[in-house]
């Protein structure tokens, strides 16, 4: 059993905080397990624990509920009721296992008050800027070859299956049959865009399109580190990490770290990308990842062209001959595909969401590294704001051994990835 080691304040949820507090204390040295240090309510914590037990003291005026999205962390009690002195300990039990990250949430009356990232087996190191760790580089697809329009949703080479290939396992002669239908509710179906959303600035105007490959991410280069505070770039480049806004600051392309500078909705992109492309809501993300029939076997982590990310399979899936796929999140190394192998997966309808990192101002972190199999984190916006506040919105997040069902939220000024969909009959 290791001790708790690192705590980091981030102030991410400061505007969402009710009257409760999570606080560090070492006044309980006679307890049977270690005592975690802590931070004031509204901050973000980070903790490393290889396995074992640790107490987290909670100081609060009302009961605090502790929860997580993984099954290798348990809590006792799940609901911490303050004692007569106004505090309670929650006992964390972490099952030993491979390196992985989990989020732990502290809530009162369904209101988030603090969040902890717990790293089992150590925190992955951030890749160094530049070089081979910046997939996508200076590629700026945008421009005239933007897919746009409803008649070319998936580019000329992969138009999206649909009516011409509706069948299931009918693959005569080993031919790959493409399926592109993903259920987002019991009655609605969508197709995903052929890559992450990108916006290219030529010095005066913007053009919109999709990444040329599903694994592409701009990273530290091109436009992500050249964003000004007025919805432009300091020089021509391409952006693929957006704040939560489609009406203000040129669709979230702003270096402000104040959520009040990000307004509007985040659903329809007709004014930018065209073709009816839109962002999934929180409930739609949750359905496609966790609730649709056979969901556990239709999503998993993977490495594609040495880039970490999340694979999502269509409702009807036929695995191409000679390839393997293991569902559920067992780490990025579980499913690994070369460019040639992924081409077959993509032809069959598979979607890949790369770990494209996050942007704070113009600083990008959490990218996948070609040199580290377990590196990287992916974050993708939903169109659903957090409650009635204008400070945060829901998003999908995944790292090695973990992915959320869009039940967590993040400040709107954070620049993260966008993957769009089109509704289909």
Q: Which domains does the chain have, with CATH numbers?
A: 14-120 (2.60.40.10), 131-143+173-424 (no CATH)
Q: Check: CB of residue 214 under 8 Å from CB of residue 339.
A: no
Splitting the chain (425 residues) into consecutive groups of 10 residues, what average pLDDT does each group show?
30 28 33 37 65 78 78 84 78 84 74 74 57 38 38 37 37 67 96 95 90 94 89 92 77 88 81 86 96 93 94 95 87 93 96 95 89 88 84 90 85 94 91
Name residue 34's beta-bridge partners: 54
Cα–Cα–Cα angle for 393, 419, 279, nearest 5°? 55
pLDDT at position 249, please? 53
CB proximity list for 210: less than 8 A, separation 6 or greater? 141, 146, 147, 155, 193, 194, 195, 196, 197, 198, 420
Q: Please classify residue 165 by burial: count the beta carbons closer than 10 Å to its beta carbon, then call 0-12 exposed, 13-18 middle and 19+ buried.
A: middle
Q: Is the CB of residue 208 less than 8 Å from the CB of residue 199?
A: yes
Q: Which two tokens stand for residue 45?
A: 């914590």
In this structure, are residues 177 and 162 in contact, taking their beta carbons and an 8 Å threshold?
no
Cα 178 to the center of its chain, rounded Å: 26
Strands 351-354 and 356-360: unpaired
- d(CA 12, CA 89) in angstroms, rounded, equals 24
Q: Closest Cα partner for 286 from 144, 387, 185?
A: 185
The 3-class secondary structure across the chain, one letter per residue, is CCCCCCCCCCCCCHHHCCCEEECCCCCCCCCCCEECCCCCCCCEEEEECCCEEEEEEEEECCCEEEEECCCCEEEECCEECCCCCCEEEEEEEECCCCCEEEEEEEEECCEEEEEEEEEECCCCCCCCCCHHHCCCCCCCCCHHHCCCCCCCCCCCCCCCCHHHCCCCCCCHHHCCCCCCCEECCCCCEEEECCCCEEEEECCCCEEEEECCCCCCCCCCCCCCCCECCCCCECCCEEECCECCCCCCHHHHCCCCCCHHHCCCCCCECCCCCCCCCECCCHHHHHHHHHHCCCHHHCEEEEEECCEEEEEECCCCCCCCCCCCCCCCCCCHHHCEECHHHHHHHHHCCCEEEECEEEEECCEEEEECECCECCCCCEEEEEEEECCCCCCEEEEEEEECCEECCCCEEEECCCEEECCCEEEEC
Write down the pLDDT at residue 329. Answer: 66
The span from the CA of 289 to the CA of 327, in Å, is 11
Give residue 247's pLDDT.
63
Task: Look at residue 143 in the predicted model and tell me its pLDDT.
Answer: 38
pTM of the model: 0.63
CA angle 410, 416, 420 (to 5 degrees): 110
């Amino acid at each position: 059993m290791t001790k708790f080691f690192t705590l980091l304040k981030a102030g991410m949820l400061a505007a969402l905080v009710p009257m409760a507090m999570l606080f560090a204390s070492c006044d309980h040295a006679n307890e049977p397990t270690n005592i975690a240090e802590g931070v004031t309510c509204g901050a973000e914590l980070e903790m490393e624990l290889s396995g074992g037990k640790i107490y987290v003291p909670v100081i609060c005026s009302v009961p605090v509920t502790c929860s997580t999205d993984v099954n290798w962390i348990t809590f006792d009690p799940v609901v911490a009721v303050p004692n007569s002195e106004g505090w309670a300990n929650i006992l964390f039990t972490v099952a030993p296992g491979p390196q992985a990250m989990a989020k732990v949430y502290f809530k009162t009356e369904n209101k988030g008050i603090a969040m902890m990232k717990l790293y089992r087996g150590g925190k992955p190191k951030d890749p160094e800027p530049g070089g081979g760790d910046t997939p996508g580089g200076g590629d700026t697809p945008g421009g005239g070859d933007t897919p746009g329009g409803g008649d070319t949703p998936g580019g000329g080479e992969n138009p999206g299956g649909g009516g011409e290939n509706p069948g299931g396992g009918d693959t005569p002669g080993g031919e790959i049959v493409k399926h592109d239908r993903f259920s987002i509710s019991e009655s609605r179906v969508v197709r995903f865009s052929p890559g992450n959303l990108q916006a290219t600035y030529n010095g005066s105007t913007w053009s919109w399109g999709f990444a040329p490959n599903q694994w592409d991410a701009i990273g530290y280069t091109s436009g992500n580190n050249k964003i000004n505070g007025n919805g432009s770039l300091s020089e021509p480049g391409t952006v693929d990490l957006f704040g939560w806004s489609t009406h203000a600051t040129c669709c979230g392309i702003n270096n402000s770290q104040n959520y009040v500078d990000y307004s509007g909705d985040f659903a329809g992109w007709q004014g930018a990308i065209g073709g009816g492309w839109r962002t999934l809501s929180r409930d739609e993300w949750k359905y496609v990842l966790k609730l649709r029939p056979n969901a556990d076997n239709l999503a998993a982590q993977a490495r594609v062209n040495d880039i970490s990310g999340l694979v999502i399979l269509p409702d009807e899936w036929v695995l191409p001959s000679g390839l393997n796929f293991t569902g559920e999140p067992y780490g990025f190394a579980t499913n690994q595909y070369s460019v040639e192998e992924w081409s077959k997966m993509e032809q069959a309808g598979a979607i890949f969401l790369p770990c494209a990192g996050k942007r704070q101002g113009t600083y990008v972190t959490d990218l996948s590294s070609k040199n580290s199999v377990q590196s990287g984190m992916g974050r993708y916006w939903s169109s659903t704001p957090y409650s009635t506040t204008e400070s945060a919105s829901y998003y999908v997040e995944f790292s090695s051994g973990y992915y959320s069902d869009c039940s967590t939220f993040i400040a709107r000024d954070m620049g993260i990835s966008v993957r769009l969909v089109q509704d289909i009959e």
